[in-house]
Chain A
């Protein structure tokens, strides 16, 4: 498919340079050394750090989602930057431990803070920040809320460095990024986990970075459309990948088998909510019953299933 990216330069470039300059001027740039994040090479040149199955707090400093990078002959692409500036700095150190090639791209798979708050650590590299065309509007509606939530969870000192970095390269449909002898195929999806999900396929190793379109082990969060997510998983199953890097879960897993648990869970939510609605039940009744037997299969289930059922209820009553 033809490249259909929207290039925001030069205005976004100028804005970004301004942010970078102010970071530099006020001395909030990367610490000289940060402890490198442990990363696992899931395929040649494809490195993944697996986040913890926890909520963001002061101890984990937002290290709760997978992030990593792909190394080409000429350049490096970061794929998700971690859940805090600190995690971003540590990811950058991990990259520097493996390669001195320039970091030309920071790809954000979607808007959630555990995937994007490390962006600020890469400003000195002056990369393109690449995201789904809807990401900027989604962050306009949520950025301040995310910043306050991070402050409350991690503390004011760590939050002082948080910046919401606007994308410089927005993907409307498809985009190829050439890292030198290595092409990444980016695909923007319609509303699913969120309304700005972006996947990355490394052609050379057939590794699919699914972002939060794939949760494993940790209970998923529906922040877009449950029906859209199920449709997107159908389409994603056809992507010719040998392995997948989930947004949450192990560093990699065979594709498409890795999505089986998620599909089953989302299906149960839809089916359960429809049953409650057919009986004129309430949201609270749905929250109390729907998908309850999935509890032993997921970490943090009690935190996320009630939210998912509520979101699905509001969506499905418009069917």
Chain B
């Protein structure tokens, strides 16, 4: 619905309410596509001085062609490490959002394929970019263009009172049939308003402070499964699908911390059928 900025000549990063805002201004005559110009700025900001290659088959990204609901845009990233190369982390970036870096997922088992589903806020017509880090020090990038939502769908909370009342509650969704030794996909939901800090109170003339989930640590029987660093481009009530290889008896522990320093913890036993 909104028109993206088509020309970018300056980039300024301002710390405000704990969040880095990416502000665009001015006009410049630029040869490359606006998306690539934007990417050049983001690459310099997030991966300064490093080469970022096209990902090829090691990393893929699925996104809808259009954001149906600006506040909840489902995204999937899949890694395919091989021939001695581990994929140790993936950064997920919504190029045109005010705080583009949505999340970084760090995989302790970079040698095995990982699939992550999550949900993003999409303010405008934008590329969504995934950048993988490999164990041999390379950065691999893939992108998908997503059209902004129509019909006055805004990337804002639908039920502000409920979001506050339920803050910190977690849910874990597991498949019906769990087999020891066989990878499963689990979904973690953390209820949190993920306030962006860009919500301007018109009458009182102040910005509502940002308040969002910053880190999520997922452990199985004490060993790391996934570590997430996240920011305000993640949807309210962050949702993360991740892979796990269960034993016959095990416990999943999740610790999340938000930008106000509140810590939320939850544990679930996971019982698997024997895998013979």
Contacts and interface: CB of A to CB of B under 8 A. Distances in A.
A175 B160 CA distance: 23
Contacts of B74: 282-284, 310
Contacts of A295: none
Interface in B183-204: 189, 191, 198-203
Interface in A214-255: 221-225, 228
| Interface range for B | 35 or more
Contacts of A72: none
Interface stretch (A36-44, A143-151, A177-185): A143-151
Interface string B154-165: 111111111000
B160 A195 contact: yes
A140 B202 contact: yes
Contacts of B203: 12, 15, 136, 166
| Interface range for A | 35 or more
B117 A282 contact: yes
B200 A317 contact: no
Contact of B72 (A138, A148, A166, A314): A314
A140 B201 contact: yes
A148 B71 CA distance: 16
A141 B72 contact: no
Interface centre among B153, B175, B200, by most chain A C-beta atoms within 10 angstroms, is B153
A224 B158 contact: yes
A142 B155 CA distance: 8
A306 B202 contact: no
Interface string A277-296: 00010111001000000000
B3 interface: yes
B199 A152 contact: no
B160 A138 contact: yes
Contact of B175 (A56, A142, A228, A280): A280
Contacts of B173: 280, 317
Interface stretch (B13-21, B84-92, B144-152, B250-258): B144-152
B159 A195 contact: yes
Contact of A307 (B3, B68, B189, B239): B68
A143 B202 contact: yes
Interface centre among B151, B201, B235, B237, by most chain A C-beta atoms within 10 angstroms, is B151
A24 B154 CA distance: 31
A191 B165 CA distance: 14
Interface string B54-90: 0000000000100011011010000000000000000
B5 to A, nearest CB: 11
Contact of B160 (A137, A221, A314): A137
A144 B200 contact: yes
Given A15-B203, A139-B202, A310-B72, A317 B154 contact: no
Nearest to B235: A314
Interface in A119-146: 134, 136-146
B162 A191 contact: yes
Interface in B93-127: 117, 119, 123
B208 interface: yes
Interface in A267-319: 280, 282-284, 287, 300, 303-304, 306-307, 309-311, 313-315, 317-318
Contacts of A313: 72
A141 B152 contact: no
Interface centre among B72, B166, B191, B235, by most chain A C-beta atoms within 10 angstroms, is B72
Interface of A: 12, 15, 55-56, 112-114, 134, 136-146, 148-149, 151-153, 164, 166, 191, 194-195, 221-225, 228, 280, 282-284, 287, 300, 303-304, 306-307, 309-311, 313-315, 317-318
27 contacts: A56-B152, A134-B160, A137-B160, A138-B156, A140-B199, A140-B208, A144-B200, A145-B154, A146-B154, A148-B2, A151-B2, A151-B3, A166-B203, A221-B151, A221-B152, A222-B158, A225-B158, A225-B162, A282-B74, A300-B151, A307-B68, A307-B69, A307-B149, A309-B68, A314-B69, A314-B119, A317-B171
